[in-house]
Amino acid sequence: MAQLEGVRRHFVKVAMAAPYLERDQEHELAVRWKDQRDEQAMHQLAHAHMRLVIALASRFRHYGLPAADLVQEGHIGLLEAAARFDPAREVRFSTYATWWIRASMQDYILRNWSIVRGGTSSAQKALFFNLRRLRAKLSSDNRAGDQTRIFATIAQAIGVSQSDVETMNARLSGADMSLNAPMGQSDNGSVSEQMDFLVDDRPLPDETVTESIDAHRRSDWLHEAMGVLSERELRILRERRLADESATLEALGARLGISKERVRQIENRALEKLRRVMIERHPEEVVNG
């Protein structure tokens, strides 16, 4: 860690010692790179503006990411700007490079600030990087009103929905929580983790689908097998086994004009018929089931 800090300090020292470029010197280097692909000229142009990278990196220090990483990402943006710079535009290189440096740092922050990927649209990026500043400004303004009105004002200013502002505010207000974070210690001395409370005892999706397919298939087989039953056997099975409210032997016998014992016999005979047909037509499935 100390070694890395030493490297960072040396880098900052070298960058701050780099000489400023006059406008004509800057233009000459840019022309040499554009017309002759002189890489030394391109790197000289970039090196002279490293102090700009360091200055911009300091603006993002409150996101809690290492300053050295921010500077490194900014350097990548600076090199990209140097490679793309067109001297014919008649603008200073620092003006052009600032956008690329800031964009490179912001992309790095969005990738690493949270384990949850943030929005990638320009509006979402603007919301991420401006929410705290706008919220603080509006909160200090007596005319801003309550929190809901503040969120509505921010949403209108940035061009996003109010729900997006509320969601981003919640994300910025809380830190990420590891699923392996300790939650407490049990009586036997073992430490429980957040992950332990996320277990889902429900069947897996593939098991649910398989069970559903099997249930439909068995239903079709049963419907097919019931074709061997007589009309009376079919009626008894439907009222005794398939109805929402099963009829009693006595009530069913009264409706059919037979004794309840006779109803029982017919029911058992119908079930035996179905069993034999199912075994004959689907022996492996019936045995395995």
From first to last of the 289 residues of the chain, give the pLDDT tens digit: 555 556 567 667 777 777 888 989 999 999 999 899 898 998 899 889 999 999 999 888 888 888 888 988 999 999 999 999 999 888 999 999 999 999 999 889 888 876 555 555 677 777 777 777 777 777 776 554 577 888 888 888 888 888 887 777 776 666 555 666 676 666 666 777 766 666 667 777 888 888 888 888 888 887 887 888 888 888 888 888 888 888 888 988 888 889 989 989 998 998 898 888 888 887 766 545 4
Count CA atoms within 13 Å of residue 279 on its CB side.
7
pLDDT of 53: 92
Q: 185 has which bridge partners?
A: 191
Task: Output the pLDDT for position 181.
Answer: 67
Report the half-sphere exposure of 287 (CA within 13 A, side-chain side): 6
User: How much is the pLDDT for 116?
Assistant: 52
The amino acid at residue 132 is: R
From CA 256, how far away is CA 250, in angstroms rounded? 10
Name the packing angle between helices 67-84 and 93-112 (round to 10°): 140
**What is the reported pLDDT for 133?**
75
Q: Tell me, what's the pLDDT at 186?
A: 65
